[in-house]
């Protein structure tokens, strides 16, 4: 029989496999039991752990990794799996566990102290859960490189034992509810840290000087705490920093020119502090900046012109400061700018033209400044805009044509300027618009019917302009509209009955126009209406009884031509003044309480009697006037004929030579041109 020879290498491989199988058979049952117990402690609505059962090997369990040689479990990664429940102490059985990642779930309870037995752990990520209680002392996990317990509900004292984990490269304890206190100076012992997240965890006091010796640090985040002191000049020592998050603290002082030494800096956010001073021109050399947020501080002066040379800028926010002067003309010209908010400053001059040069701009907010002149036409093609707000400036001229038709816009706000012209029919393209704010300008022309295409619109404010024509009936298409203000314009015609289809309407103001016709009964179907102002128009007819069903907190119908009885419930809600200067409005309640109330409104009975008396008086006056006219006409005729007869008699007397006094002669005469036989004698007295 031929025997195959066996090489030493083959024997070695067989030995490895043999011992590996022995390892698997020795350790797997215990680890499987531990993993199945871990599953019992968790709720799994998405069946993420469906194959965690007796029929599968632990190394086949979803999210579990094993050592290729020994078969022991080395990793459990169940991030973002919609899990809830608690963390089982059985994790302590997994002695070779290197990675435990349960982040981004809804796991609650506490961290079991038994977890400290997993001394081979290198990565422990329990962030973004609902864990509570005090942290156990994890300083025995000396191999840890990543410890992220952020975004939970941990309480108690800030863990000073952290400084013993000298191998840490990433530390996240932010967004927890630790007792208020300072940052331990010993945190500076973590020399290998590249990521430090201690935001929003009740820290106060100054940032320890030892932090600025962590030369490997790339991210520094102490945001949303109560950190005090002057902005640290020593931060410029951390040459590997690419992200600084110190926003929402109580830092004071100025930004030092030395900040420009951080040439890797990509994200810089010191907003919502008490910083002041002029921005150093040196920061323009931070060529890699993508995010620059310094809003809600006390900075002043002009922005360095060199900021316009940034090539990677994506988000720029300086709102609520005291910056002044001209804005850097080239900002956005060379960068993929996505968002800019420079509101509530004192910028002057022309508006920058290149903010949408890359066609990526989504958020443009520049309200409450002193920009002037016409708005640049370059934004007509900026179809990526979602929020466009330039209100409270000194702009003039027309809105660039394309801005009315922004297909992705959620808000267009150009209020409180000096814009002229009308709303383009392109407004119908802005189908995603929820707010259109145009008040306090010099807009004119008619409101386009294309406004009816804005099915998502919730707020339309066009008050204090010079809009004319009628309120478009298409406004009834706006089922989401809750706020409609068109007061102080030159609108005319009737209120469209279609307005009753705006069943989400809460606030309706059409005051101070030239509207006429009647109040549509359909207004009574606006069951969510809280405020109604139709004052200072020429509206006539009665007030619909249907308005009584509305739960109005404010109403004004004054200064119109309304008539008839005021619905009682509406009178109780709005009060007398809401119906003033409508001479033919009246109240039906004539009780003693009404008479003692001192109301200026008259009862309907008085008005009916007054109208009846007025009609009778008018009829009598007409009769008297007619009689007087007839009487005067008769007297005039008599006088005329008398004069003619007198002239005739004088002529006869002259011809006959009779010089007797003719004033006392009474005789008959024939009317000229009438058959004498048919004539009647008419006496004449002279």
Read off the pLDDT of residues 497-510 as tens digits, 9 standing for 90 and up.
999 999 999 999 99
Q: What is the pLDDT, as a whole number, of residue 279?
A: 98
- Residues 6+ positions from 334 with CB-CB distance below 8 Å: 308, 309, 310, 311, 357
Mean pLDDT of 29-51: 97
Read off the pLDDT of residues 362-391 as tens digits, 9 standing for 90 and up.
999 999 999 999 999 999 999 999 999 999
Label residue 602 by pLDDT band (50, 70, 90). Answer: confident
Containing 12, the helix (H) or strand (E) segment is helix 8-40
Give 477-481's long-range contacts (Cβ < 8 A, gap of 24+): 477/452, 477/453, 477/501, 478/451, 478/452, 478/454, 478/502, 479/455, 479/503, 479/504, 480/434, 480/455, 480/456, 480/504, 481/457, 481/505
Per-residue HEC secondary structure of 188-247 comes to: HHCCCCCEEECCCCCEEECCCHHHHHCCCCCEEECCCCEECCECCHHHHHCCCCCEEECC
Mean pLDDT of 62-81: 96
Window from 450-464, 569-583, 590-604 with minimum mean pLDDT: 590-604
Mean pLDDT of 78-87: 98
Read off the pLDDT of residues 252-267 as tens digits, 9 standing for 90 and up.
999 999 999 999 999 9
- For residue 667, pLDDT over 80 is answered with no
Mean pLDDT of 485-502: 98
Query: Helices H, strands E: what count in the chain?
Result: 4, 42
Read off the pLDDT of residues 144-181 as tens digits, 9 standing for 90 and up.
999 999 999 999 999 999 999 999 999 999 999 999 99
- Can you give the pTM of this predicted structure? 0.82
Q: What is the pLDDT, as a whole number, of residue 601?
A: 80
Q: What is the pLDDT, as a whole number, of residue 604?
A: 85
Q: What is the pLDDT, as a whole number, of residue 652?
A: 44
Label residue 589 by pLDDT band (50, 70, 90). Answer: low
Query: What one-character-per-residue DSSP string does 603-657 give?
Result: BHHHHHHHHHHHHHHHHHHHHHHHHHHHHHHHHHHHHHHHHHHHHHHHHHHHHHT
- For residue 596, pLDDT over 90 is answered with no
Confirm or reject CATH 3.80.10.10 for domain 8-121, answering yes or no: yes
Window from 69-83, 138-152, 317-331, 659-673 with minimum mean pLDDT: 659-673
Q: 299 has which bridge partners?
A: 277
Report how far residue 134's alpha carbon sits from residue 116's, in angstroms, rounded to the nearest whole number. 14
Read off the pLDDT of residues 177-205 as tens digits, 9 standing for 90 and up.
999 999 999 999 999 999 999 999 999 99
- For residue 677, pLDDT over 90 is answered with no
Mean pLDDT of 556-576: 92
Q: Average model confidence (pLDDT) for the chain? A: 88
Alpha carbon distances (Å) from 387 to 305, 314, 362, 437 = 26, 16, 6, 12
First to last CA, the chain: 181
Window from 20-29, 239-248, 479-488, 673-682 with minimum mean pLDDT: 673-682
């Amino acid at each position: 029989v031929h025997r195959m020879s066996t090489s030493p290498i083959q024997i070695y491989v067989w030995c490895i496999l043999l011992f590996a199988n022995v390892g698997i058979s020795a350790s797997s049952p215990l680890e499987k039991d531990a993993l199945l117990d871990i599953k019992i402690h968790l709720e799994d609505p998405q069946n993420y752990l469906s194959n965690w059962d007796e029929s599968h090997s632990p190394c086949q369990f979803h999210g579990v990794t094993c050592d290729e040689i020994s078969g022991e479990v080395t990793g459990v990664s169940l991030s973002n799996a919609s899990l809830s429940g608690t963390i089982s102490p059985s994790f302590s059985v997994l002695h070779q566990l290197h990675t435990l990642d349960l982040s981004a779930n809804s796991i609650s309870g506490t961290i079991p102290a038994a977890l400290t037995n997993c001394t081979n752990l290198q990565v422990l990520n329990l962030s973004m859960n609902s864990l509570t209680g005090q942290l156990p002392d994890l300083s025995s996990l000396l191999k840890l490189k990543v410890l992220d317990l952020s975004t939970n509900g941990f309480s108690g004292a800030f863990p000073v034992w952290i400084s013993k984990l000298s191998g840490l490269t990433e530390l996240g304890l932010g967004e927890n509810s630790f007792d208020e206190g300072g940052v331990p100076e010993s945190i500076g012992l973590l020399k290998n840290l590249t990521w430090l997240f201690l935001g929003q965890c009740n820290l106060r006091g100054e940032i320890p000087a030892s932090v600025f010796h962590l030369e490997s640090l790339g991210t520094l985040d102490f945001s949303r705490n109560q950190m005090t002191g002057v902005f640290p000049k020593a931060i410029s020592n951390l040459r590997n920093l690419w992200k600084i998050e110190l926003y929402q603290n109580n830092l004071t002082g100025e930004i030092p020119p030395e900040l420009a030494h951080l040439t890797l800096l990509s994200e810089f956010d010191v907003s919502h502090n008490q910083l002041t001073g002029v921005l150093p021109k040196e920061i323009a050399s931070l060529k890699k900046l993508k995010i620059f947020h310094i809003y809600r501080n006390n900075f002043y002066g002009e922005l360095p012109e060199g900021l316009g040379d940034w090539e990677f800028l994506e988000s720029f926010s300086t709102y609520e400061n005291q910056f002044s002067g001209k804005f850097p003309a080239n900002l956005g010209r060379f960068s993929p700018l996505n968002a800019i908010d420079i509101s509530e400053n004192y910028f002057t001059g022309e508006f920058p033209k290149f903010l949408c040069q890359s066609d990526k701009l989504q958020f443009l907010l520049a309200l409450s400044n002193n920009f002037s002149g016409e708005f640049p036409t370059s934004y007509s093609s900026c179809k990526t805009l979602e929020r466009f707000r330039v209100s409270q400036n000194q702009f003039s001229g027309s809105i660039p044509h394309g801005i009315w038709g922004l297909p992705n816009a959620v808000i267009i706000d150009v209020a409180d300027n000096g814009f002229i012209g009308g709303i383009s029919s392109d407004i119908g393209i802005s189908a995603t618009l929820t707010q259109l704010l145009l008040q306090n300008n010099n807009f004119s022309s008619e409101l386009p019917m294309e406004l009816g295409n804005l099915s998502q619109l919730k707020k339309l404010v066009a008050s204090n302009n010079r809009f004319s024509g009628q309120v478009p009936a298409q406004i009834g298409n706006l089922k989401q509209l809750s706020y409609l203000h068109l007061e102080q314009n030159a609108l005319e015609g009737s209120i469209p009955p279609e307005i009753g289809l705006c069943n989400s309407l809460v606030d309706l103001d059409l005051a101070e126009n030239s509207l006429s016709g009647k109040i549509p009964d359909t207004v009574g179907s606006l069951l969510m209406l809280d405020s109604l102002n139709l004052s200072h128009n020429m509206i006539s007819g009665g007030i619909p009884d249907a308005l009584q069903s509305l739960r109005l907190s404010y109403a004004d119908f004054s200064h119109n031509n309304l008539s008839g009885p005021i619905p009682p419930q509406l009178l109780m809600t709005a009060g007398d003044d809401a119906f003033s200067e409508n001479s033919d409005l009246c109240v039906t309640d004539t009780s003693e309480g009404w008479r003692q109330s001192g109301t200026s409104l008259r009862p309907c009975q008085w008005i009916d009697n007054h109208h009846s008396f007025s009609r009778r008086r008018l009829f009598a006056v007409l009769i008297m006037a007619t009689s007087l006219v007839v009487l005067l006409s008769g007297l005039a005729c008599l006088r005329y004929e008398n004069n003619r007869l007198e002239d005739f008699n004088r002529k006869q007397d002259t011809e006959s030579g009779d010089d007797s006094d003719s004033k006392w002669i009474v005789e008959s005469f024939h009317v000229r041109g009438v058959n004498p036989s048919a004539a009647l004698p008419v006496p004449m007295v002279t």
